[in-house]
Structure 1
Amino acid sequence: MKTAAIVKRNFERLALLTVMFFASVIAFAQETTTPKVDINTTETTTTTTTEEWFTNPLYWIIGALLLIALIAVVARGNRRSA
């Protein structure tokens, strides 16, 4: 009984391997030459550049100063006066 199950499993593996082999042969057996296509097109493109706000260093400096001021206010507000 044990050998029949082993033979059946090996036959299933062989069948699966055969199917995968022929599927790969069919996939690789496609035409390798590319047909010649003659298409002449002209295209004009216009590009516009816009500066984003986060690329301007002035905003970074103002943001850093506000962050430092906020940290100073929060740190000073925790002190108790005597």
Structure 2
Amino acid sequence: MNTTLLSRKIESFGILLLTFFFSALAFAQEKTAPAVNVTTTSTKTTTTEEWYTNPIYWVIGALLLIIIIAVVARGNGKRD
């Protein structure tokens, strides 16, 4: 029973040491950002929106497709 208690304590201490080591390693990776002077020039380009990128057309198209499927599935209404 003493060996299991001792092994649990050693395991807990090992986990504590690993946690400390990895946290120290993570903090060691951080460094302050160097001061960088960057000048950029940007040009604005205008693009036209295509009709198929507008979601309204997709919704209208889906509704029309559902209506067409419903009409075709209903048939002509006459049963023999």
TM-score per shorter chain, which class? 0.5 to 0.7
1:4 to partner: Cα distance: 0.6
Q: Give 4+ residue runs of structure 1 displaced > 4 Å after superposition.
A: 29-32, 56-59
TM-score by length of 2: 0.61
**How many residues in Structure 1 have an aligned counterpart in Structure 2?**
79
Give 3-state SS (helix, strand or coil) of 1:4's partner.
Answer: helix
Give me the identity figure in percent.
34
Question: 1:9-66 CA deviation, whole Å, 9 max, x = no partner?
Answer: 2212211211211321232245653321112222324241322326375772x66445
- Gaps of at least 5 residues in structure 2 are none
Counterpart for residue 9 of structure 2: 10
Give unmatched runs, 5+ long, in structure 1. Answer: none
Q: Which one has a bigger Cα radius of gyration? A: 1
TM-score (norm 1): 0.60
Distance (whole Å) between structure 1 residues aligned to residue 11 and residue 27 of structure 2: 24
